[in-house]
Amino acid sequence: MSAYDLFIAPFMDYGFMRRALVAALCLSLGSGPIGVFLMLRRMSLVGDAMSHAVLPGAAIGYLVAGSLSLTAMGIGGLIAGLSVALLSGIVSRSTLLQEDASFASFYLASLALGVLIVSLRGSNVDLLHVLFGTILAIDTPALYQIGAISSFSLIAVALIYRPLVAECLDPGFLRAVGGKGPLYHFFFLFLVVLNLVASFQALGTLMAVGLMMLPAAIAQLWARSLPRMMAVAAGVAVGSSYFGLIASYHLELASGPTIILTAAIVYVVSIFLAPAGVAWRFLPLPHLKG
């Protein structure tokens, strides 16, 4: 088998592979930088909780549309995710519960409710589509929607980059200078939910956060500065998407899980070989050599 047949032919021969690749690349460029900020804010598990919180809204959108309409499910997921984010913030500020505990409580209830709604009115196949995604079934309108969300996310991060960094690293200082930290915090959660809704359409609720958190974790092992972390995260997500789709095509595997597993393999390798990984800790530092 030639290199062309291995790496290029699947996308030249099949339109659904081209659409899947474009969708995955858009998701990678939008979700990678957002994942870096999530990790810096120590909200990795909150991102996972938010990915499941969109399920009841998506399920209601599925019932209203009467089919697996990605647009209806996306709108429902966005409303549900923002509602959970808002309610979790209110509960954490009104009670003794920390924000992560509040998110976990709402996410469990949302996940159970969403699965229940889909199982009551849909088939097992519909439930599998909702939970694991249908990246190979992405159509042109859904592709436009994913591209628009990714573009908006990149522009928004560029516009609020400085206050977002300040809110991540020193929220007390931002409050002291009247920087409207809570407003930026909620807008950041809005971006997280928006990207999870886009990822949900392709990867399902169980793996929507995969292209957001795994590349961000890898970037933290390879880079020290924030801009480099964001670039590495986006690059790793793009590479994982491409090689994951190639592997799923030739090995006849499910595309969404294969993309996430590809990123997981890069993560395991990075744990050992990256500058902040395990192997480098056993090497003598230059200034300690005699």
Predicted confidence (pLDDT) at residue 162 exceeds the cutoff of 60:
yes
Q: What is the pLDDT of residues 254-267, one digit of tens each?
A: 888 899 999 999 99
Domain extents for the chain?
3-278
Q: What is the pLDDT of residues 231-284, one digit of tens each?
A: 999 999 999 999 999 999 999 988 888 999 999 999 999 999 888 778 776 665
Phi-psi region of 21 (alpha: psi -120 to 50; beta: other; left: phi over 0): alpha
* Residues whose CB is less than 8 angstroms from the CB of residue 272 and which lie 6 or more positions away in sequence, other chains included: 278, 279
Per the prediction, the chain carries an average pLDDT of 82
Mean pLDDT of 67-91: 77
Which range (186-190, 224-228, 236-240) has the least confidence? 186-190
Which range (10-24, 95-109, 158-172, 179-193) has the least confidence? 95-109
> Can you point out the beta strands (E) in 124-191?
none
Nearest to 85 by CA among 109, 61, 102: 102
Question: Which percentage of the chain shows pLDDT scores above 70?
Answer: 84
More confident residue, 102 or 260: 260
How far, in Å, are 140, 179, 214, 225 from residue 161 at the CA level?
31, 13, 22, 14
CATH architecture, range 3-278: Orthogonal Bundle (1.10)
Predicted confidence (pLDDT) at residue 153 exceeds the cutoff of 80:
yes
Dist CA 84 CA 130 (whole Å)? 19
Three-state SS for 25?
Answer: helix
Q: What is the pLDDT of residues 196-217, one digit of tens each?
A: 888 877 887 677 788 889 999 9
Three-state SS for 211?
Answer: helix
How far, in Å, are 11, 17, 35, 134, 181 from residue 103 at the CA level?
40, 36, 17, 27, 19
Check if the beta carbon of residue 81 is closer than 8 Å to that of residue 57.
yes
The total of other beta-carbon atoms located within 10 Å of residue 5's CB is 11
Question: Which percentage of the chain shows pLDDT scores above 90?
Answer: 29
- Check residue 25 and give its pLDDT: 93
